[in-house]
Structures are given as structure tokens and as C-alpha cells.
Amino acid sequence: MAQATTGGRQATAAPLSPYAIELKGISKSFGPVRANRDINIAVPRGTIHGIIGENGAGKSTLMSILYGFYRADAGTILINGHETAIPDSQSAIRAGIGMVFQHFKLVQNFTVLENVILGAEDGALLNTSLARARKVLGELSREYDLDVDPDALVEDLSVGHQQRVEILKALYRQADILILDEPTGVLTPEEADHLFRILQGLKDQGKTVILITHKLREIMAVTDNVSVMRRGTMVGTVKTSQTSPEALAELMVGRKVLLEVEKKPAAPGRLVLDVRDLRVKDDAGVERLKGISLSIRAGEILGIAGVAGNGQSELLEALGGIADATGHVVMNGVELPLAGRRNNGQTRRAAGISHVPEDRQSLGLIMDFTAWENIGFGYHNAPEYQRNALLMNNAALRADTERKMATFDVRPPIPTLAAKSFSGGNQQKIVVAREIERNPDLLLVGQPTRGVDIGAIEFIHKQILGLRDAGKAILLVSVELDEIMGLADRILVMFDGRIMGERDPEKTNERELGLLMAGITETKGA
Amino acid sequence: MELASFLQILDSTVRLATPLLFACIAGLYSERSGVFDIGLEGKMLVAAFAAASASYATGNVWIGTAAGIGAALLFAAIHGLASITFRGNQLISGVAINFLASGLTVVLGSTWFKLGGQTPALTDGARFADITLPFARPATESLSGVGFVSGFYSHVISGHSILVYVALLLVPATWWLLYRTRFGLRLRAVGENPAAVDTAGVSVVALRYSAVAITGLLCGLAGAYMSMGLSAGFLREMTAGRGYIALAALIFAKWRPWYALAACMLFGLLDAVAIRFQNIDIGLLVIPVQFTQALPYILTVIILAGFVGKAIPPRAGGEPYVKER
Amino acid sequence: MTKLPRWADVVLVPLICLIIAFAFSAILIAAIGQSPAHAIWIMIDGSLGSTYGLGYTLYFATNFIFTGLAVSIAFQASLFNIGGEGQATLGGLGTALACLLIPWPHWSLALMASILASAAFGAAWALLPAWLQARRGSHIVITTMMFNFIAYALMNYVLVNILRPQGSMDPATARFPVTVNLPKLGDILGVVGIPFSSKNPANISFLIAIALAFAVWVLLWHTRLGYALRAFGKQEKAAIYAGIDPVRITIYALLLSGGISGLMAINAVQGAAHRLVLNSVEGAGFIGIAVALMGRNHPFGIVLASLLFGFLYQGGTQLALGTTIPREVITVLQALVILFTGALPYMVQRPLEALFARLARKEAA
């Protein structure tokens, strides 16, 4: 980036280049990890451009480079045809780039207005800035259907409204290029649809939108063009109208997606878990789980499908003894405590429930502990790991770890290595080994293959099916429809803290499930 | 209680509250920016020492003040380096700074002045003079026979050194800066969510360093007042936990300037009462002086317990900022 | 992301921090017109040159082992207990009551009672901050700091108004009966034929402190409670997933910490002063922070760091006697050790990491 101009806005007069953004040969490594390798991409002005890829494909890194969060090791950035250096966020803003992060960057106890002017104030005193912002915000709100009360505190706003504040922030800074990173992950389907209408409106006004996602449905619904990333490289850019979800999926994963898992028909036995009217409130007192009833029999997998954030996490937490709940949960004929001191992970494990949590790095493992210490995590009170009434038997735990590492093909098979030193797939294998080898009556599994490489996915799926065939009950929560369709014997779809309906995986399809996940129930047989 | 002693107590309340107020507002800037500071005590102490030493050497109270501010700024820079640049533990850094001040002042003091750690007594030009406001009687005049209004004006409002009035003006000034200016908006934001400030294109590091520098400046004034206003010279450990009381006042005030004034006045009053009366006999029982001395700490624990209005610190307080997506 | 080898992280980093702290202190000594070399010689001679001096070194070290272990056990649970000073003060009260109220026939019984009482008083002083942290989320650093001041006021009241013998002006208790005096280290070593001075305060508490360090190691790495405590300290959310009760662990960790702080009194009050004075702790509670940081929160490291600080304290006293260098030089050194090991570790780690990365690359090439 020799003769780069820092910032400087060129979008005003007749532009030279038809492209709002061109990235040429962008590479970025974090230590040995090559997050971006020789990325080339050109985004035409006034379009919605999708960037799709699996978790860890390098999408977010690329956008962070564009927003000045990271500096690329190599490559050039062209904004409106001009080579532009973006060493920090300030430069990105000056170049007309606005970014809506997955995790919003808002000050919770500030008003909307204060959040919008932060960093873009007109002078040393706030009065004039606030007055102007109020006026501009009113105009923007009308123009783009972005209705937000400027005097509301951000902490009082819904997630969807907070996202609108982020968009307003970018527009207030006169962004011509808006990047949205996984914007729908936290939105209800209605909010997502509203967002897409807003994006369409922005495009109609000549703005350029980059939409980063791993959801094919969104790409197909709103984008003009789509670029696909896989393991740090850009594998192709196509017109959305000339491709199909299947073709995109194949590009993303790099082979024909065949998630048909070979499985025998289920042989459901006795009732293991019976849940009646389960309700969970979050810290703010908002009900996240609104009366869930379900039951699981021995030898079957009950799959819970849904968009992330519709109560699946709360369901797992309530059943796993992490969150307090109300209602009734009967396990093997015994009612479980749902609140108070007896409601904890230890009593759940004693009741025969194992739990592979959704987030292995923050819940399932202590990252600084060794592998053998992690194999005992949650089972550190188990009798076989004790030497006597006072002391633990670390040697027994280590020996058990070696055995489990061999069975589950954890690499490298070194029990004294810290959990953080293993790859994502091997970390997950440690968690799955620990929980499945307990031979529980009920296994709770959340997102078992998130951020796990393909080889490990197949292995983990086989283990889950093996446990089912051994006559155990399994509750599988996943946002990956393929995974649910492939593994589950029955599917419940969750939306907004409720169960929308039950489907037989053999007799349903992605479209039907997708509608349920969006909260739309079709009237059958009408 | 007769009027004269009542006025005397109020008079010493104002004097004793002044260093607390400086230190409390000092802490407010740092903590509002997300940098915890339990090193207020150390910065005050080193400033008191530097101020008294320089003032003794030059005979000029203003050179003394500048030296006090300089020393406190240096210590603030160490805290900034540890907390902001090297993302260290802010609490531990504060503890270290307190020890550093405690040791350094005695080592240098006893070497320079050979008085076991204290400076020689400061004479008139080398310490702050009391200011008599218009229409007020001189503070030296006897209190007997004055009316309440005139006595209050002459002895409680008037008759303090310039720094007392600076400290009082600091309260509205801080309020205005915090809530009416761009700097204040950014300062409050960086203590709540530094990522919001960073993505808005504003430097988190620069904001936090400027806040920590203001903290140093004000601790310098607090120390200068200790050794050149309240006393006439430096004594070893002369801050005697005032930095911690200021911290307690800051929590008590929930990190807000006007509340800080009230908290510091309350704690100053407790101090004045404890100095004037040993044990207070209220008929049924005798309140021991130790209880009055411990009251600021007890009140702070009660406030922290959240039974009387919860004290919520700035959300990003104590956490070094690491850029992440 | 090149990580440091474990040995470098555990040994090299504290060592470099120590060297930097010493260097700064040497500059300070030179700046006040004294010879750093002479100063270090006086410190070494005075603290290690005779069994008399060595006894003092071990006496100070004993205090620091207790307070250092106390800080570290809370650190392991991610809790920063800076209330060691107040907890040890209350431990002193427990010891004094145990020694004064009952006419013990033999020191061993008195020691047993004193251990129980000092630990119980120390733990009790940590209980309210612990409960407030666990249940109300009140920041433990601030509450324990406030409790230090409250402890001082309370002790002042108790000594002046209740425990002071009639006619005495000193805010201190009466002398303990001679029967409760603990055996001196010199006497114990004399039994096994090692000549060691008895004219110093080193006593059997040193052996108790070493045994306690071992016990803490066993607790942390070989018991369920220690496992739960460390897991909670690393990742609180994960600990809850595992069914570890955060409230209970917080309270246990701080009770243990407070109790161990309180135990310091058996050395300082029963073993050395033979009466309770107003400031029986003399800052050892704070030195515990430096010792825990320096010793990397590991009992073995804490014993080593305590010996080092014992040496510094005894050496500092000798400095004050033998030169015109004030003993507060040691406070400065202590501050610098805390600063570099606790607040600025990255300053040392980062260049070291870069160095090791370069070495590794060279090796690979």
C-alpha cells in the first residue's frame, strides 16, 4: 500500500469505478492460522452483496480488515476505485464504510441519540450535536423505515431496535457502504424480514450493502451477488439469480453435501423424560421459555429445530440444572427440582442426565485445565475418581482420560495438554467422550458440531446414534437443519420460546420446517 | 451545643472534606473511564511530600503545588502504563502505587531533611494563606457573641485557602464536563463500553490516558492541600487512609459529582466530630470515638451491599480493553 | 501465538521482575548517596550471616507464608482478598483471648486452642465480605479494604476499653502467661543437635506454616473442593454448568483465606510478642499480596517468596541500624515487586515471548 490515501471521500461526483469496494490479494494470518488467503472480491455499487461461508471460513476477519480492526498482511483495498489505506476505524468511517457488528457496540445506559453522535459530534459542546442529530435521525427514520425513539435508553430497547440504532449510527456518519455481520442471528423472523426491507430501501437509495451470513435462505432472499468463502479462501462469486442453495452449499463445504447419516429405525422404549409447562425467565425478567411440554423415550432422538435465540439455550439450561425454571420435569419417574439449591448440574448428573453444552469453550471445558482435569469436569465428585474420603485419585482420572482419548480418537492423545491447545473438533471430542461414556439415561446435546471439522462431525454423529441404539434418550438441539433432519427421530420446532409443532423427519422437508421456524403455522387440510 | 463550637465543627468539616473532595473527583474521572484506581492514597501522599519539599526549598507555595501535581502525574502515568498499555491488573497496580508512595516519601524525606521522614515546618509564604471573603470577619477573630448567619459566613464560608474554593468549584465544573461536553460523553462511554468508542473511531487509549492524567492532577491538588493547607509541612503517612475514604465516598456517591460533594462533606463531618469529641454521650449509650472513625467504612459497606440503593460501577471498570470482533 | 515454555513462565518471569525491582531499588539507594553494594552486603550479613539473623528472617518469612497462602487461595478462585491485614488483626484477638482466658497447663494445648481461635476469628472477619460478594455482588476488594479499617477501629476500641490491664497506658493486652509461650526454633533444632540461636522470635510456627503450605497444595490439587475452587476461578459460567455452587465456593474460598490470614497470629502474637498490641500485623497482610504474586499462587513458590521477603525485612532492619538508609527502602522494593509481577507481567512476558519465538525459528531453520 505504497501511495495510499488515508480516508478521503470520493463518492460525491461521478465515480470512476463501477465498484464500491475492491479487495485485491488480501491475506491475514494469526500466528500459524491463515485466516484469509489471497482474497479478491469486487462489490458493484448499489447492490446487496452476500458473503457466505461456514463458521471459521474467514468472513469476519475479512470484514474486520475492511473496517480497520485488523491490518492485512498483504493486499490492497480500493474504495470507489481509489486505493485506500484503512489503518483504523476512523479511516474506515471517513472512507464511507459503516459496520453493524454481530455483537452490537452500543453504550447500554446512553440514549439512542447519545449513541448515534458518539464519535461523530459536531463540536466540543453537546447541545448543537444533539439538536442536529435529532433532526437528521428523524429524516433517516422516515426515509428508511427505521423507527426508533431517539430518547429511549438503549438497554430498554429490543434486540431488533438496537440493531436499527447501529444502522442509524452508520447512516448518520454518511456511510455509503454498509457491512452487516450475521445480522439475523439474534432476530425473530419478523425482525429479520423488516431488516431485509430496510436493506432493500438502502439499496434503492444507491447504497452498497454487504451481508455476511452462513444462512443460505437469507442469501437467496435479498442479495444480488454472492461470494463464497471456505477455509480462508474465496472460492467463487456468482449472481444470486443464477445459483441455487444446493450449489452454494456445495461451494461452502467443498464437496457434495451428503448429510444422510446411516441409521436404523428407532425402537422407542419406556418414557425417560417428561416435561410439562416449562418456563424460564432471563435476568431482565423476560420470559424466554413460554410453557414447553415434551417427552422423550428410551432409544430415540428428539431434535429441536429453530433459529438461534428462540429458547433452545434456555431449554437446555433448565434441563441441565444451570438456569432456574418453573413447571414439571420428571426423569425416570422422579420429579426434578427446577429452582433452589438442589437445582444444579450435580443433581442432574446423579439423576442420569449428561449434557454436551452448546458452547464448549465457555461452558463445557475449563480452557486452562489439562485434558485429564477436563475429563473429570462435572464428575469430579464421582466415586471412581476418589482415593478416599478426602483425596481425589488423579492417577485414576489420568488413566481414564487416556482410555477415552483412544476410544474417541482425540489428537494429540496427551492427557496433560491444556484444553485450549486442542483444535475445536478435538475439544468437542473431549466433551462428548466425557458425557457419552457416562452412559447416561438422557443426553442433552447442544450444537454438537458447531465449529467442528467434517471428519469429526461424522464421528460425533455416529457416537450420538450409537448411544440411541444402546437404548438411551437423547435431546438434540441444533440450528443446522441438516443435522436435525439426519439424526432426529422426531422433530420439534421452537419459535419465540414455544413449540410450534412436531414433524416426522421422514415426512417433512426444509421448507415446511423453515416456515415453522419463522413462526408460521400452515392450516393443514384446508 | 453552643453556637461557637458548632461553627468550629462546620469549619473543620469544610477543611477536612477538601482533600477528600479532590481525591474523590480525581477517582471519578479515572473510574468513569473504566480504570479502577485504589492508588488515590499513594498519589495524594507522594504529592503532599513533593509539594511540601519543593515549597520548603523555594519558599513558594505555587512551585510546591506544581511539584505536587508533577509527582502525582508521574504516579498516574505508572498506573496508566500498567492498566492501559500493558493491560495489567488495575487493582494490583493501585496497591503497588500506594506502597511505592509510602516507601519513597520516607526514604527521600529522611535523607533530604534528616527529620525521620517529615519536612521542616513551612512558614507563611510556603503554605496557602486563608482568604477572607468580602464583608467577612477575619478568621482569627473570636467566635464569641457572633450571630449564626454572620458567624457561618465568616468562619464556614470565608476564611479558607484558595484550594478549598477550587475544590468546591470542581463539582459543578465536573458535572458540566461530564454531561454537557463531547469529552464527557466519550469519557462516560469508554467506561461503559470501550468497544462502542473504538468502533466509532475514537481512541480508547487516548481517552483513558487523559482521564488518568486528570486523576493525577487532582490528586496532586489534594496532596498539596494536605501538606500546605491543612498542615504546615509533610508528615510520614500523613494522608492516613484519606485516599481510601475518598474511594468510599466515590462509591457512596455512585460515581456522580454532586453526590460526591455530599459524601465528602458527610465524611468530613464525621472526621471533624471524631477529632473534637472523643466519646459522644447520647444519654442511653456512649458512642466510642472508634465508631465515629469507622463509620465512613461501615456506611460504604452498607451501600455496597445494595440494601440502600445499589451502587453500580461503570460497566467496563477494571477490564483492560482488548480489541475483538 | 507463541507461548512461553512453562519453566520460563514460572521461573524466568518472576526472576526478571525481581531483578528489575532490585535494579530500581539500587538506583534509589545510589540516588540518596549510599552504596548499593554495601547495602546488599549489610542485608545479607544481617539476615543470613548468623543463626540469630537467620532466625529473624525465618520469623518474618513465617508471617508471609501465612498471609501469602491466604491471598493465593482466594486468587485461585479469582477473588482478590486484600483484607488479610484485618483478618490477621482479628486472628490476633482470637489468639489473645485463647491465651488469656484459660490457664493452659502446657503450650501445646494453648497452641491448639490458639490455632482454632485465630483461624475462626480471621475467617469470621472474612465472612461478611464473602457473603456480600457471593450474594449481593459487592466487590470483594472494596469490602475487604473497608473491613481492614473497621478491624483497626475495633481493635483500638477493644484494646483501649476492654483488654487493657488497669493502670497501663499502652493500648495492649497483659502479657500472656509464660506457660503458653511457644518453643523457639533454636530450642527445637537444639534437640536434634543443630546449633541455632534462640535469641530471636523464630518459633515452632515456622514448621506449622510449612506444613500448612503442603496442606494447601494438597487441598488445591488433590481434593474435590480444590478442584471446584480452581474451576470456579478459571471460568465461573463453566463451573455452574458442572454443578459447582458459586455462592458456596466464594464463601469457602474466602473463609479459608481469612482463616489462614488469622493463623498468622500464632507466630506474631503467641510466638513472638506474647501479648496483643494495636498493630500486631505490621503490614504482613499486604506483603501477602506481593508474596502470592511473586510465588505464582503456588504454595511452593509462596514459601520461596516468603523466605525472600523475610530476608528483605530482616535485611531492611539491619540497614536502618547499620547505615543511614531508611528501612522503608524495603517498602519501595516490595512495591516494585508487586508492580512488576502483578500489574506489569506482560511487560516482561511479551519481549520474552518474542525472544523464545525467535529462538524456536532459528532452531527450526
Position A524 scores a pLDDT of 44
Out of A105, A108, A124, the one facing B199 most closely (by C-beta) is A105
From the number of C-beta atoms within 10 Å of its C-beta (0-12, 13-18, 19+), residue C57 rates as buried
Task: Please name the CATH architecture into which domain A17-96+176-253 falls.
Answer: 3-Layer(aba) Sandwich (3.40)
| Closest Cα in chain B, distance from residue C108 (Å) | 36
**pLDDT mean over A272-276:** 95
Count interface pairs A-B at CB distance under 8 A.
77
Whether chain A has a CB inside 8 Å of the CB on C241: the answer is yes
Does A391 sit within 8 Å of C243, measured CB to CB?
no
Inform me whether the C-beta atom of residue A64 falls under 8 Å from chain B C-beta atoms: yes
ipTM comes to 0.89
Backbone torsions φ then ψ of A295, nearest 5 degrees: -145, 150
Q: How far apart are CA A44 and CA C159, in angstroms?
A: 82
Give the Cα separation of C263 and C70 in Å (integer): 10
| Closest Cβ opposite residue A349 in set C218, C231, C243 | C243
Structure confidence at residue B66 as a pLDDT band (50, 70, 90): very high
**Which are the contacts of A309, defined by CB distance < 8 A and separation ≥ 6?**
A185, A186, A187
Contact of A433 with A409, CB cutoff 8 Å: no
**Angle, CA of A407, A409 and A410, to the nearest 5°:** 115
**Per the CB < 8 Å rule, is B107 touching C147?**
no
So where are chain A's domains?
17-96+176-253, 105-175, 271-517
Count the neighbouring beta carbons within 10 Å of the beta carbon of residue A5. 14
Class of domain A271-517: alpha beta
A368 neighbourhood in chain C, CB within 8 Å: 234
Q: Do C240 and A365 touch (CB under 8 A)?
A: no
**Residue A522: pLDDT above 90?**
no
pLDDT of residue A376: 94
User: HEC states along chain C?
Assistant: CCCCCHHHHHHHHHHHHHHHHHHHHHHHHHHCCCCHHHHHHHHHHHHHCCHHHHHHHHHHHHHHHHHHHHHHHHHHCCCCCCCHHHHHHHHHHHHHHHHHHCCCCCHHHHHHHHHHHHHHHHHHHHHHHHHHHHHHCCCHHHHHHHHHHHHHHHHHHHHHHHHCCCCCCCCECCCCCHHHCCCEHHHHHHHCCCCCCCCCCCECHHHHHHHHHHHHHHHHHHCHHHHHHHHHHHCHHHHHHCCCCHHHHHHHHHHHHHHHHHHHHHHHHHHHHCCCECCCCCCHHHHHHHHHHHCCCCHHHHHHHHHHHHHHHHHHHHHHHHCCCCCCHHHHHHHHHHHHHHHCHHHHHHHHHHHHHHHHHHHHC
pLDDT band at residue A6 under the 50/70/90 scheme: very low
Smallest Cβ–Cβ distance between C339 and the set B93, B102, B117 belongs to B93
Residues of chain C with pLDDT under 70: 1-3, 365
Can you tell me the distance from the alpha carbon of B71 to that of B226, in angstroms, rounded to the nearest whole number? 14
Is pLDDT of A315 > 90?
Answer: yes
Any chains having at least 3 CB pairs less than 8 A from chain A are B, C
- Which listed CATH number (2.40.50, 3.90.25, 1.10.3470, 1.20.1730) goes with B3-128+147-305? 1.10.3470
Q: How far apart are CA C269 and CA C97, in angstroms?
A: 11
For B71-98, the pLDDT digits (tens) are 999 999 999 999 999 888 898 899 899 9
> Which of A236-240, B173-177, B178-182, B221-225 is least confident?
A236-240
> Facing residues of A386 across strands?
A392
Which of the four pLDDT bands, split at 50, 70 and 90, describes residue A516? confident
> Which residue in C has a C-alpha nearest to residue A382's C-alpha?
C224
C2 contact A CB<8A: yes
The set of cell numbers assigned to A128 is 448543537
pLDDT of A5 reads 42
Secondary structure of A404-437 in the HEC alphabet?
Answer: HHHHCCCCCCCCCCEHHHCCHHHHHHHHHHHHHC
The answer to whether C7 faces chain A, any CB pair under 8 Å, is no
> Predicted confidence band at B24 (pLDDT cuts at 50, 70, 90)?
very high
Smallest CA–CA separation between A63 and chain B, in Å? Answer: 10
Q: Which residue of A101, A115, A124 is in closest CB contact with B325? A: A101
pLDDT band at B309 (very low <50, low <70, confident <90, very high): low
Residue A224, H or E segment: none
Residues of C in contact with B96 (CB under 8 A): 335-336, 338-339, 342-343
pLDDT at residue A7, rounded to an integer: 42
Question: If you measure CA to CA, which chain A residue comes closest to B196?
Answer: A105
Chosen from B31, B53, B111 to mutate, greatest number of chain C CBs within 10 A: B111
Question: Which residue in the set B192, B201, B315 is minimally distant from A119, CB to CB?
Answer: B201
How many Cα neighbours within 13 Å face the side chain of A432? 30
* pLDDT number for residue A330: 95
Q: Do B181 and A124 touch (CB under 8 A)?
A: yes
- Residue A465 corresponds to which amino acid? L
Chain A: residue whose CA lies nearest to B187: A118
Minimum distance, in Å, between the CA of residue A462 and any CA atom of chain C = 25
Q: How many Å lie between the alpha carbon of A239 and the closest alpha carbon of chain B?
A: 29
Name the residue facing C238 among A348, A365, A386 (closest C-beta). A365
Cα-flanking dihedrals φ and ψ of residue B9, to 5°? -65, -45
Q: What is the pTM of this model?
A: 0.86
Mean pLDDT of B49-75: 96
pLDDT the model gives residue C41: 93
- Distance between the two ends of chain B, CA-based, in angstroms? 64
Distance CA A78, CA B247 (A): 51
Q: Are A64 and B180 a contacting pair at CB < 8 A?
A: no
Query: What local confidence, expressed as pLDDT, does residue B120 receive?
Result: 92
Nearest Cα residue in chain A from C239: A363
Q: State yes or no: pLDDT of A4 exceeds 50.
A: no
Average pLDDT rounded to a whole number, residues A144-149: 86
Residue A1 in this model has a pLDDT that exceeds 70? no
pLDDT tens-digit map of B179-196: 999 999 999 999 999 999
Nearest to C241 among A345, A369, A380 (CB): A345
Average pLDDT in the A128-154 region? 91
CA-based nearest residue in chain B for residue A120: B200
Q: What is the pLDDT of residue A517?
A: 77
Beta bridge partners, C184, equal: C203
Mean pLDDT within A369-373: 95
C1 touches chain A (CB under 8 A): yes
B190: closest chain A residue by CA: A107
Domain C49-344 classified CATH 1.10.1160? no
User: What are the residues facing A44 on neighbouring strands?
Assistant: A19
Residue A434 pLDDT greater than 80, yes or no:
yes
Q: From the list A30, A377, A390, which residue is nearest C242 (CB)?
A: A377
Query: What does the pLDDT read at residue A9?
Result: 46
* A488: nearest Cα among A498, A480, A496: A480
